[in-house]
Amino acid sequence: MKQLHRPEMFCWSAFDETRNVDFHSVLWVHEDGNVLVDPLPLSDHDRRHLDTLGGAKTIVITNSDHTRDSERIAEAFGARLFGPRTETKALPEQCEPLGDGDEPVRGLRVLELHGSKTPGELALLVEATTLITGDLIRAHSGGTLHLLPDAKLDDKTKAAESVHRLAQMTDIEAVLVGDGWPVFRSGHALLGELDRRLSQP
């Protein structure tokens, strides 16, 4: 796994040939038990790395299109699975529901987004400074945040309102997107740029 911007945060990735971007999964090494977000299948190497870092106790799925290898990894590590409360029917049966304001792990705040391709996509805010997004906010070109393409959005106005809300969170430094290039600095400024682009007529 690759270290991210904090010594206790890591990711592993897979290149997607259809979109020409990397997909990412996040590991947060946490003293109450490690957290995984949207885990892709692990290579043998990354599985061993995760073992040495303490395995996983909590897995959060941001949306029902990002279940990926969650069930298998949850079983292997005896981890609890969580996912959006409004998408439970499309999630693994044992998935526990999360909604806006929940804090399944100390320091991990759940934010509900709206208008995306699934009804209840979540974003996660780590200690107010690192935002983890699933599908709605992405970065297919480096150093710029993008919204999911219009054709995939359920409601662009609601999606833009969700971005606007995130853009008010002035402490955000990093934006770890599920698809594309992560942002490690000036996350608040880049969310502001996206917010302004979306509010232009």
141 versus 168: smaller Cβ distance to its own copies = 141
For residue 26, the minimal CB distance to its own copies (Å) is 12
CA atoms within 13 Å, Cβ hemisphere of 145: 34
17 versus 31: smaller Cβ distance to its own copies = 17
Binding site for its own copies (CB under 8 A): 1-5, 7, 13, 15, 17, 20-22, 45, 49, 140-144, 174, 181-182, 184-186
Which among 66, 79, 58 has a CA at the least distance from the CA of 25? Answer: 66
For residue 186, the minimal CB distance to its own copies (Å) is 7
For residue 4, the minimal CB distance to its own copies (Å) is 5
75 versus 127: smaller Cβ distance to its own copies = 127
For residue 91, the minimal CB distance to its own copies (Å) is 29
Find all residues with CB under 8 Å of 174, minimum gap 6, and list them.
4, 5, 129, 130, 131, 182, 183, 184, 185, 187
143 versus 201: smaller Cβ distance to its own copies = 143
Find all residues with CB under 8 Å of 160, minimum gap 6, and list them.
115, 147, 195, 198, 199
Strand 2-3, strand 146-147: pairing: unpaired
